[in-house]
Chain A
Amino acid sequence: MQAVLAHPDIKEQFASFPDLLPSDAFKGVRKQAMNRFLSEGLPATRDEEWKYTDLSGIAELRYTSGRAAELTELNRSQITASLFDEQEYHRLVFVNGFFSGELSSPAALPGGVIVSDIASVAEKHPALLEKYFYSSPNSLHALNTALTAGGMFLSVPDGVSVSKPIQALFFNTSPDATAIFPKNIILAGNKSRVHIVQQYASTEKNISFTNAVTDVSLGKNAEMLLYKTEALSPASFLTDSCIVMQQHGSRFSSLVFTMGGQLVRNNLGITLEGEQCETAMHGLYLVPGTGHTDNHTFVDHASPSCHSNELYKGIIGGKGTAVFNGKIMVRKDAQKTSAFQSNKNILLSDEGTVNSKPQLEIFADDVKCSHGATIGQLDEEELFYLRARGIGEDAAREMLLNAFASSVVDTIQIASFREYMAGRLQEYLPFLRK
C-alpha cells in the first residue's frame, strides 16, 4: 500500500541518496530502515500526532547530500562566530551534515571519555554503535538511520565527571537544498556527569531539511544537562527526535530553544525507567510570522517516586503557528509520582495560531500531577505603563516579551551559556512582528 501518495518524489530522491557512512557494518539495518521509510513516506496530517504539522512542503524540494557544498570564507567566519570559547567548551562541528575536524577542538578529556563523530566511530569501532542502529519506531527515525552520515558520539564512563560543557554545532551553509540526517548518541554511565549544548544553525540564505535523532541514556545517579538551540533560516525544515532513558536516581534537564525556521518539529520522549529520577523539560519557541514550530513531549513515568517538571513558553508573531502537545503517562506501579506541566503562549497578532494540548494518562492513585496552558496577548495595561514613562512602543513590547521569555532562559545552569542565550533572545525579539 502506498501510504502517502502526495509525496512519491521525495521517496525516490532519498532512495537514490548515496550511503556516506564509512562502514559496511550497518548496510543491512540501513536498507531495512530505508524500506520502512519508502513504505510509509513522510508522516501525514491524518496521523493524529501530525494533525497540525504539515510536512508536505519538505517534499517540494530537490535535495543534495551536502557533501560537495563549498565552504566560503564568509561561511567559515559565520561558523567561527557561533563557536564558544575553546577554553570553556569542548567543540564538535558539523558542516552541512559532515564532521569538520578543522573547526572542532577535541581537548584532552578525563579517563575514558569519548567525544567523537559517529562516522569515525562507525569506521573504527562499529561494535560501539550496533545497539543504536535499531529497528525504527517511525518513518522519520527510519530515514535518519538509513541516511545518517555524521553526528555526535559521546560516551562518559561510570563515575566520570566531564568538567567542561560540550558544544555540538550543526551548521548548514549550502544555498542549494540539502538534506542532512544527524544521529547523536549520548551515553552517560552510572554516577557520571556531563553538560551538552547542541545547536542547529544555518546561514540566512540556507535551504535545508534536517532530520535528526538523538539517543540519550543516563545510568544510575547520572546527571546531564542537554540544551538545544535551533536558529535556522526562514526556508529551513527541521524534524528532531530526542529519546531519553533514565535509570535509578538520575537527573536530566533539557532546554529546547527555537527561533525561526520555516517548520520545526521537536519530539522529546523521556522514559523514567528507574525509581527516584528527576527530569526537567524547558522550552522556548520564538515563531516569526512565516514560521511553524511544534513541540511534542512525552514523559513516561514507568517507575515510582520520580519527579518531572515541564515549562514551555512561546511567542508567535504575525501569521506564525505553534503547537504544543505535552503527554504525561503515569503507569500503574509508578506511585509517589509528581509531574507538573505548564505551557504559556503570547500571540502578537490576531492572525497567529497556537494549538496547545496537555495529555495526562494516569494509572496510579498516589500521584501529584498538574498541568496548565495559556494563550494570550501582551498586557495592554503593562504596555501603557512602560510607554507612559517614555519608553517607545517597540521597546516596551520587547521589554515585556523579554520578561516573559526570561523565566525559561533563567533555568539554564551554565552561566556563560545563559548569558549568551539572553543576548540571542534580545537580538531576536525585533524579528517578531505584530
Chain B
Amino acid sequence: MILEIKNLKVSIDGKEILKGINLSVNAGEVHAVMGPNGSGKSTLASVLAGKEDYTVTGGSVEFLGKDLLALPPEERAREGLFLAFQYPVEIPGVSTANFLKTALNEIRKHRGMEPLDAMDFLSFMKEKMKLVNIDTELTKRPLNEGFSGGEKKKNEVFQMALLEPRLGVLDETDSGLDIDALRVVAGGVNKLKTKDNAFVVITHYQRLLDYIVPDYVHIMYDGRIIKSGNKDLALELEKKGYDWITKDLKTPA
C-alpha cells in the first residue's frame, strides 16, 4: 500500500472543506480524482503535501506505512511524495538548475545515496529533460520566472521525473494547457509509471484521461468522494455532466 486515507476531515479558518475522505492507492495504480470547482480536490492535494494553512480535524493518512500528517513538507517529499502544483510559483533569483540540484541531493541523502556533483547532475538532468521535451534554456532561467503556463506545467512534470517519487499527485496539471502541451505532460507521466509507484491525478475535465488512463476514477463533491469506479465513470461523467451525480444528493442522505 502506498497511500491510505481514512475519514480525513480538514478545515480552513473554521470552515470544513474535507468532510471524511477515504482513499487507498496501491503501487502500480493511477487514480483520477474528479469533481466540480469547490469540491475540495485541490485542498486534498495541498493537505497531502503539507501546506500549513489547513487544520486536520479528523482521520488519518498513511504514506508507505508512515503517519504522513506528522511530517513537515520536506520530509514528505524526501519520503517520496510529489505534488505537481496547480499554480507553480515564480521565484526570481533562484536558478532552476541550482534549485533542482539542491532538491535532488536532499532526497538522495535521505535515501542513503551519495549526492551528485555538478557534472553528474547535469547529465542526469539532460536525460530527464528528454521525457518532457523541455528546453535546456528553461533550466538556466530563474525558477518559473516568465515561464508560460505550459512551460510551468512541463517544469512540474520534469521535476517529478528528476525526483523519482513513489507517489505523484498532479493537481489540475491539465488546466490551461493546449492539446500539444497536454500530450507532452501526459506522455511524461506515462513514461514515469512503473509497478512500484503510483499517481493521483486531480482534474476537472475528462480529456486528460484520454492520455493518462486511470485504473480508478473517484468523484468528489462537497468534501466527500461520492462515487468511485473505473475509467468508464469518467466517460459517463463527461457525457452527463456533474448534475447527474449531484442531483441524487440534493435529497438528504
Query: B-contacting residues of A (Cβ < 8 Å)?
Result: 379-382, 384-393, 395-396, 399-400, 402-404, 406-407
Q: A384-B73, A387-B50, A391-B74 are in contact. Are A403 and B91 (CB under 8 A)?
A: yes
Choose from B50, B77, B102, B163 the contact partner of A399 (Cβ within 8 Å). B102
B124 in the interface (beta carbon within 8 A)? no
Task: Give 6 A-B contacts (CB < 8 Å), ordered by A residue.
Answer: A379-B89, A386-B103, A388-B49, A390-B106, A399-B102, A403-B93
Whether B99 and A389, one on each chain, are in contact in the complex, defined by CB atoms closer than 8 angstroms, is yes
Closest A residue by C-beta to B108: A390
The prevalent SS among residues of A at the interface is helix
Alpha-carbon distance A291/B89, docked complex (angstroms):
33
Q: Say yes or no: A390-B78 contact (C-beta < 8 A), given A382-B91, A385-B89.
A: yes
Using CB atoms, name the residue of chain B closest to A387: B73
CB neighbours of B103 from chain A (8 A) = 386, 389-391
Task: List, in ascending order, chain B residues with CB within 8 A of A390's CB.
Answer: 74, 77-78, 103-104, 106-107, 110, 163
A268 CB, min distance to chain B CBs, angstroms: 25
| B229 surroundings in chain A (CB, below 8 A) | none
Shortest distance from the beta carbon of A342 to any chain B beta carbon, whole Å: 14
User: Contact between A391 and B106 (Cβ–Cβ < 8 Å)?
Assistant: yes
Distance, CA A256 to CA B88, complexed state (A): 35
Question: When each residue 72-89 of chain B gets 1 if its CB lies under 8 Å from chain A and 0 otherwise, what string results?
Answer: 111011100001010011
Is the pair B49, A400 in contact by a Cβ cutoff of 8 Å? no
B45 to chain A, nearest CB (A): 11
Distance, CA A396 to CA B73, complexed state (A): 12
Cβ of B107 and Cβ of A403 under 8 Å apart?
A: no
Beta-carbon contact of B89 and A389 below 8 Å: no
Q: How far is the CA of A337 from the CA of B91 in the complex (A)?
A: 34
Contact of A384 with B51 in the complex, beta carbons under 8 Å:
yes
Question: Besides the contacts A387-B72, A404-B93, what 15 more A-B pairs have beta carbons closer than 8 Å?
Answer: A381-B89, A382-B91, A385-B85, A385-B88, A386-B94, A387-B50, A387-B73, A387-B77, A388-B77, A389-B103, A390-B78, A391-B102, A391-B106, A403-B94, A407-B93
Please give me the residue from chain B that is nearest to A399 by CB atom: B94
Contact mask B50-63 → A, CB, 8 Å, 1/0? 11100000000000
Please determine whether A393 and B93 come into contact, CB atoms closer than 8 angstroms: no
Leading 6 A-B pairs by shortest Cβ distance: A403-B93, A390-B77, A389-B103, A387-B73, A390-B106, A390-B107
Mask: chain B, 105-136; 1 = CB below 8 Å from A; 0 = not = 01100100000000000000000000000000
Question: Quick check: A385 and B74 within 8 Å, CB to CB?
Answer: no
Residues in A neighbouring B43, C-beta threshold 8 A? none
B197 within 8 A of A: no
Tell me the minimal C-beta distance from B230 to chain A in angstroms. Answer: 30
Q: Most B CB atoms within 10 A — which of A385, A389, A393, A402?
A: A389
Q: Which residues of chain B are near A380, meaning CB under 8 Å?
A: 52
Q: Which of A379, A391, A395 has the most CB of B within 10 A?
A: A391
CA–CA, A379 to B85, complex, Å? 16
A381, B91: Cα distance in complex, Å: 10
State which of B74, B88, B104, B163 has its C-beta within 8 Å of the C-beta of A387: B74
Contacting pair A395 B102 (CB below 8 A): yes
A392 adjacent to B106 (CB under 8 Å): yes
With an 8 A cutoff between CB atoms, is B92 at the interface?
yes
Residues of A within 8 A of B142 (CB): 403
A313 to chain B, nearest CB (A): 11
B203 contacts A by Cβ under 8 Å: no
List residues of chain A with CB within 8 A of the CB of B88. 385
Contact partners of B50 in chain A: CB under 8 A: 384, 387-388
What is the distance, in angstroms, from A260's C-beta to the closest C-beta of chain B?
23
The yes or no answer to B159 lying at the interface (CB within 8 A) is yes
With A392-B106, A393-B72, A393-B74 given, is the CB distance from A385 to B91 under 8 Å? yes
B99 touches A402 (CB 8 A): no
Could you say which residues of chain A place their CB within 8 Å of the CB of B93? 402-404, 406-407
Expressed in whole angstroms, the minimum distance between the Cβ of A114 and any Cβ of chain B is: 41
Q: Is the CB of A386 within 8 A of B106?
A: no
Residue of A nearest to B143 (CB): A385
Chain B residues within 8 Å of A396, by CB: 74
B89 touches A382 (CB 8 A): yes
Among B83, B88, B102, the one with the most A-chain Cβ atoms within 10 Å of its Cβ is B102
Question: Which A residues touch B102, using CB under 8 A?
Answer: 391, 395, 399
Residues of B with C-beta under 8 A to A403: 91-94, 142
A389–B159 CB distance below 8 A: yes
Q: Please, which residues of chain B bring their CB within 8 A of the CB of A381?
A: 89
Contact assessment for B91 and A389 in the assembled complex, using a CB-CB cutoff below 8 Å: no
The reply to whether B94 and A388 contact each other, CB–CB distance below 8 Å, is no
Residues in B neighbouring A388, C-beta threshold 8 A? 49-50, 73-74, 76-77, 83, 85
Instruction: Provide the bound-state CA to CA distance between A387 and B99, in Å.
Output: 11
Q: Which residue of A lies closest to B91 (CB)?
A: A382
Q: Which of B133-153 contact A (CB under 8 A)?
A: 142
Whose C-beta in chain B lies nearest to the C-beta of A405?
A: B93
Identity of the chain B residue whose Cβ is nearest the Cβ of A410 in the assembled complex: B93
Which of chain B's residues 12-67 have a Cβ closer than 8 Å to chain A? Answer: 49-52
- Quote the shortest CB–CB distance from B155 to chain A (angstroms): 11
* Residue numbers in A under 8 Å from B89 (CB-CB): 379, 381-382, 385
B83 and chain A: residue at smallest CB distance: A388
Give the complex CA separation of A386 and B99 in angstroms. 8
Report the separation of the CA atoms of residues A400 and B91 in the bound assembly, to the nearest whole angstrom: 8
Contact with A along B201-238 (1 / 0, CB 8 A): 00000000000000000000000000000000000000
Please give the distance in Å from B29's CB to the nearest CB on chain A.
22
Bound Cα distance from A206 to B94, whole angstroms: 36
Establish whether residues A392 and B74, one from each chain, have CB atoms under 8 Å apart when the complex forms: yes
Give A395's nearest chain B residue, CB to CB: B102
Shortest Cβ distance from A385 into B: residue: B89
Q: Smallest CB–CB gap between B190 and chain A, Å?
A: 22
Expressed in whole angstroms, the Cα–Cα distance for A404 and B99 within the complex equals 15
Q: In the bound complex, what is the Cα–Cα distance between A395 and B99 (angstroms)? A: 11
Report the bound CA distance from A382 to B94 in whole Å: 11
Q: Cα distance A379–B104 when bound, in Å? A: 22
Minimum CB–CB distance for B27 against chain A, Å: 21
